[in-house]
Amino acid sequence: MAEHPHGPEDHRFDADFVQRFHTTFDGSFPDVETTLGPSSYALLAAEAEALAQNGAAPVVLDLGCGSGRLSEVLLQRGLPPQNLIGVDFVAEQIERTRQRLNPAPVRLFLAQSQDLPLEDGSIDCVLNHMGLAVMIPVDATLKEVGRVLRTGGRMAVVVDGPPKEGSIDKIYIQILREAVAAEQPQLLKGLASDHDISDPAVLAHLVHVQTGMIPHRAPQSFELLMRMSVSEYLTFLEGEYLMRRLREVGRQKVRHAVQRLFESHGEDQVVIPLAMQLMVFVKPPA
């Protein structure tokens, strides 16, 4: 299993960066259709709904709730607000969620994923949309998830997947990496997760070691079908951790290269498939 490339103090450095970043950027994803049909938020919401028993709604934790998009989808689909808990370690994000969900009486906590203010076994379903990779150390986050989940409870996560060859997203990553290599090569080490959880086998192993949980079913790869103009895509990219860590001169290079890429497509709007995967785990009896 890969060690964090730098050491524990870099965990703090990375966490500080993520916290500062989300003070300005909400970091949510477009709520658009995927190659599986529903949006990635709706896919997670369906996993929670599957845990309703005899008409009783599950208690759901939106871990790393960001600006509250997933929580909003859960409420829109009928989850009672008193059954929903949101956690994020950035005060501005909690405030954005509060405003989005207002006046629903949802419990929101400003807390670290590695130290949740929740009772053992108090949660039926933990949902995490595009946050687990930066909840470093990920091991400690998973251990907490295992503690707060009840036996038979589930954790469903949407994480990055490997981008498709030839897609704008894949070409963008190359553009970004080239700019980083030329301008600030030290950044190439990351914002590194301490484990490559985009590899389903790595995540499944980690989850099992930390929580005893097992996959509920096979991982599902899918793409988020973003249809965007160049200016919309550039705005979206500003909310990307590595892009944000580049100095302005590097960011300008990326922007220009992305503009050229769009021009080569010759259309105002282009579909940009963003690779993701959905994994669901269940906590078996001890």
Ligand X SMILES: C[S@@+](CC[C@H](N)C(=O)[O-])C[C@H]1O[C@@H](n2cnc3c(N)ncnc32)[C@H](O)[C@@H]1O
Judged by CB under 6 A, does residue 127 bind ligand X? no
Distance, CA of 12 to CA of 6 (rounded, Å): 11
* Burial bucket for residue 103 (CB in 10 Å: 0-12, 13-18, 19+): exposed
Judged by beta carbon, residue 47 or residue 253, the one nearer ligand X is: 47
Distance from chain centroid for Cα 130: 1
- Which residues from 203-232 bind ligand X, rule CB under 6 A? none
Task: Go through 120-152 and write b for each residue having 16 or more CB atoms within 10 A of its CB, e for each that does not.
Answer: eeebbbbbbbbbbbbbbbbbbbbebbbbbbeee
- Smallest gap from Cβ 111 to ligand X, in A, equals 7
Judged by CB under 6 A, does residue 64 bind ligand X? yes
- Smallest gap from Cβ 269 to ligand X, in A, equals 23
Binding-site member from 4, 11, 14, 28 for ligand X (CB under 6 A): 28
Judged by beta carbon, residue 29 or residue 281, the one nearer ligand X is: 29
Judged by beta carbon, residue 211 or residue 262, the one nearer ligand X is: 211
Measured over the CA atoms of residue 192, residue 193, residue 195 and residue 201, the dihedral's sign is negative
- Smallest gap from Cβ 66 to ligand X, in A, equals 2
And the tokens for 183? 């301008």
Distance, CA of 97 to CA of 11 (rounded, Å): 26
Judged by CB under 6 A, does residue 131 bind ligand X? yes
Measured over the CA atoms of residue 96, residue 64, residue 188 and residue 6, the dihedral's sign is positive
Distance, CA of 15 to CA of 9 (rounded, Å): 10
Judged by CB under 6 A, does residue 269 bind ligand X? no
Closest residue by beta carbon to ligand X = 66
Distance, CA of 265 to CA of 210 (rounded, Å): 46
Judged by beta carbon, residue 89 or residue 281, the one nearer ligand X is: 89
Candidates 6-14, 22-30, 188-196, 244-252: pick the segment binding ligand X (CB under 6 A).
22-30
Judged by beta carbon, residue 129 or residue 251, the one nearer ligand X is: 129
Judged by CB under 6 A, does residue 18 bind ligand X? yes
- Which residues from 66-125 bind ligand X, rule CB under 6 A? 66, 69-70, 87-90, 93, 112-113
Chain positions contacting ligand X, by CB under 6 A: 18, 22, 27-29, 64-66, 69-70, 87-90, 93, 112-113, 129-131, 134-135
